[in-house]
């Protein structure tokens, strides 16, 4: 059991790092004229192509599970793939990246309170302490002081947080018979299809450019930047779903907060944005919060919770009283 937990934590940390790595690359692409719609489309389409063969291999003899749970697959692709990325990138058009990311990272708190209301089981004191420590760490790392808030953009960022909750809760489902690589590949395909349907409507701006992209002082071709973005995104979702199956949605969502300090480090190398001492202290707080959340879960009695289309119907969720 401990080996499973350690493996799950390791996979989730790797997923968090890969998500963090993709952010500065996308930001560098925006600097040369790309728009959020174009970046999200190529991220999803590229990932769907990369994962097509592994998905087909993993789904041999299991397509009945896709037919049975097609609503879950569609929901995962539209909400957890398109929703998270698109709403966040639209929000940063009117908010600073720091404020938008802070709002999106309220997802773990939403999950804890949603499960609390759903089950009536109050989280343990260690869980509350971990929540406070993690969110305090986020504030220190992001330092959103003095930012002008745009109400519409705030709602978009909070919408991204809700979509992120769906990513964790759906990805944690282990009773649907769809392997993690297949769920990721199918979700990417649904997400790419959704973006292609949105393209001719004019709702989003799809602007592409062949200009070189500056990554860490090195000028790279646009296709290399897209390739790096696709590789990081596919790896992030794949390792994230694998980790979710091992340690569950609650712990994974808080471990995912390490994306923030990872983003700081990656941005330091790629965009020459040097983190300050306060940000480093914030990273320590986030890690401490994750540890407390895990301790709170370990001391919890195992309860069987019935949840419909969002969480597993027969999965035992480790909640605390």
> Within the chain, which residues score under 70 in pLDDT?
1, 96-99, 141-149, 172-174, 249-250, 253, 256, 263-264, 267-276, 279-280, 283, 290, 294-295, 297-321
92 found inside a domain: yes
On whether residue 110 sits in a domain, the answer given is yes
pLDDT attached to residue 190 = 93
Sign of CA dihedral 118, 124, 125, 130: negative
Residue 270 has a pLDDT of: 65
Residue 199, in any domain of the structure: yes
Instruction: Check: CB of residue 199 under 8 Å from CB of residue 41.
Output: yes
pLDDT given at position 306 = 38
Q: Note whether residue 313 is domain-resident.
A: no
Q: State the pairing for strand pair 302-304/218-220.
A: unpaired
pLDDT score of 320: 36
Q: Which of 243, 80, 110 is nearest to 174 (CA)?
A: 243
Is 315 among the domain residues?
no
Nearest in space to 15 (alpha carbons), one of 235, 250, 310, 318 = 235
pLDDT at 189: 92
Predicted local distance difference test score (pLDDT) of residue 318: 38
Domain assignment present for residue 320? The answer is: no
**Is 318 within a domain?**
no
Give the model's pLDDT for residue 68. 85
Q: What are phi and psi of 121, to 5 degrees?
A: -100, 120
Domain boundaries, position 268: 2-308
Q: 317 lies in a domain?
A: no
Number of domains in the chain: 1
d(CA 260, CA 283): 8
């Amino acid at each position: 059991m401990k080996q499973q937990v350690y493996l799950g934590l390791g996979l989730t940390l790797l997923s968090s790092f890969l998500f963090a790595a993709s952010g500065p690359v996308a930001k560098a692409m925006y600097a040369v004229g790309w728009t959020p719609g174009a970046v999200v489309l190529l991220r999803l389409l590229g990932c769907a192509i990369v994962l097509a063969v592994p998905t087909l291999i993993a789904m041999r003899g299991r397509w009945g599970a896709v037919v049975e749970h097609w609503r879950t697959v569609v929901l995962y692709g539209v909400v957890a793939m398109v929703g998270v990325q698109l709403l966040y990138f639209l929000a940063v058009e009117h908010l600073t990246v720091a404020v938008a990311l802070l709002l999106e990272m309220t997802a773990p708190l939403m999950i804890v309170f949603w499960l609390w209301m759903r089950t009536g089981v109050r989280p343990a004191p260690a869980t509350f302490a971990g929540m406070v420590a993690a969110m305090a760490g986020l504030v220190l790392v992001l330092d959103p002081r003095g930012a002008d808030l745009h109400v519409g953009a705030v709602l978009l960022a909070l919408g991204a947080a809700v979509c992120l909750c769906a990513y964790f809760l759906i990805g944690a489902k282990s009773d649907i018979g769809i392997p993690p690589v297949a769920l990721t590949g199918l979700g990417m395909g649904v997400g790419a299809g959704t973006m292609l349907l949105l393209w001719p409507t004019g709702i989003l701006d799809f602007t592409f450019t062949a200009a070189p992209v500056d990554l860490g002082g090195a000028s790279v071709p646009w296709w290399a930047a897209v390739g790096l973005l696709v590789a990081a995104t596919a790896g992030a979702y794949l390792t994230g779903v694998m980790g979710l199956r091992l340690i569950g949605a609650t712990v994974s969502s808080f471990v995912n907060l390490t994306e923030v300090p990872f983003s700081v480090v990656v941005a330091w190398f790629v965009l020459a944005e040097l983190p300050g001492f306060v940000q480093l202290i914030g990273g320590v707080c986030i890690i401490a919060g994750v540890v407390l959340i895990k301790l709170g879960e370990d001391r919890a009695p195992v309860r069987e919770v019935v949840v419909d289309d969002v969480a597993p119907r027969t999965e035992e969720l480790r909640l605390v009283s």
